[in-house]
Amino acid sequence: MQQLISPLTAPFADPASLESLAAVYAYPDQVNHGQPWLRANMVSGLDGGAKLDGLSEGLSGDADKRIFGVLRALADVVLVGAETVRAEGYRPGRARADFAAARRAAGQQPAPAIAVVTRSLGLDLAAPLFTEPLVRTVVITTEDAPPERLRAVAEVADVVVAGRGSVDLRSAVASLAERGWTRLLSEGGPRLLGQLAAAGLLDELCLSLAPLVTAGDAPRIIHDAEMPDVQRMRLVSLIEQKGFLFTRYLRPPTP
């Protein structure tokens, strides 16, 4: 893996090491003072498609999976849409020995919690995400969610109610931060990421660009959301490995 640009790391840092990647992707200090920071991690092909054969897995590679694991290891909670949970067969976050000491020092739980955003509560409650979590799974839903489903979900997961008719993501993020989960990571899918961006909650985008032209009708990484205005981002790091580009963009500081 060769680092091309990375102003946030030492000149001779080795981006192939977990320690170096953790330094590149470190959360800002504000998370230590109760202020949430929401980063998204997505992958796309050269033509912008966020899926191949209906899944993001086909766009991934070894280095992408390595960075995916590091981002999870740094996060308090992983925010994901129910559609992605169903399509990708989501499992609970796992503890990683390489990050155990750092997580303890930061006051984090052994693994990140998974927080599923869903209005309909159409979830498989017998799946490992709900039966085998190291940290209890969280389900974020609305006041008018189906009552019977809500009761069933509450037996196997923590429930956060935010909004009516649709999930109020600002309220949801605030609720997670109140738990001390200020290091937030969204893994999509494209619809949820679009809603987060439209709500002005996207602080950082980690985009893996696969050296593939996929065509087809796959959605972009941000899909089906009306943005009130264009959100400009600034590039802060770029890593290349076997044709894959791993970018990190931050929201510019508020004047």
Amino acid (one-letter) located at 244 = F
Per-residue pLDDT of the chain (255 residues; tens, 9 = 90+): 444 444 444 333 455 788 889 999 999 999 999 999 999 999 888 888 887 777 777 777 788 888 999 999 999 999 999 999 998 899 999 999 999 999 999 999 999 999 999 999 999 999 999 999 999 999 999 999 999 999 999 999 999 999 999 999 999 999 999 999 999 999 988 999 999 999 999 999 999 989 888 877 788 888 877 777 888 899 999 888 888 899 999 998 766
- pLDDT at position 221 is 87
- pLDDT at position 14 is 55
- pLDDT at position 6 is 44
Helix (H, G, I), strand (E, B) or coil at 77: strand
Instruction: Name the pTM for this structure.
Output: 0.90
- pLDDT at position 63 is 80
Q: Please count the other Cβ atoms lying within 10 Å of the Cβ belonging to residue 242.
A: 10
- pLDDT at position 32 is 95
- pLDDT at position 138 is 98
End-to-end CA distance of the chain: 36
Torsions phi, psi for 39 (to 5 deg): -110, 150
- pLDDT at position 132 is 96
